[in-house]
Amino acid sequence: MEETKHAPGTIDAYIAGFPTGIRERLQAMRDVIKEAAPEATEKMTDQRPTFELHGNLVQFAGFKNHIGFDPSPSGIAAFHEELSAYKGAEGSIAFPLEEPLPIDLVRAIVRFRVAENMEQATKKKS
């Protein structure tokens, strides 16, 4: 269950609604995503911070015991081996709060998703 008790309208408000330790991790996720996908736009979708670039790119969220990261099923599949140490589902992964965030891995996954979305956008234009 998510920690927030309301539906924030912005990513800043979303992050601000968490305790300090989780808030710092959420901001770190946001920062690395912005660095890896500088052309992506931010918005809230389904009460989750979302980055879009020619469609959904990635989402992240704060929970009581982990930071959720949703890079789509293709992002999970492409980094299956690197993500095998983490719990997750078809399109999402859970980074436990008691472990450091794998910033380099998140950056690589976001870059993969950027390339994937750009390729799909190019194919649609053809």
Q: What is the DSSP string of 11-42?
A: HHHHHHTS-HHHHHHHHHHHHHHHHH-TTPEE
Q: What is the pLDDT of residue 4?
A: 43
The model carries a pTM of 0.91
Record: fold of 1-9+33-40+51-126:
Aspartate Aminotransferase, domain 1 (3.90.1150)
5: alpha, beta or left? (left if phi > 0; alpha if psi -120 to 50): alpha
- Interval 30-57 mean pLDDT: 96
Q: Which residue has the tokens 């589902």?
A: 89
Question: 40 near 55, Cβ under 8 Å?
Answer: no
Q: Compute the distance between CA of residue 126 and CA of residue 114 in angstroms, rounded to an integer.
A: 19
Q: Give the CA radius of gyration of the chain.
A: 14
pLDDT, tens digit (0-9, with 9 covering 90-100), for 93-113: 999 999 999 999 999 999 999
- Interval 117-121 mean pLDDT: 92
Q: Compute the distance between CA of residue 29 and CA of residue 67 in angstroms, rounded to an integer.
A: 9
pLDDT, tens digit (0-9, with 9 covering 90-100), for 31-41: 999 999 999 99
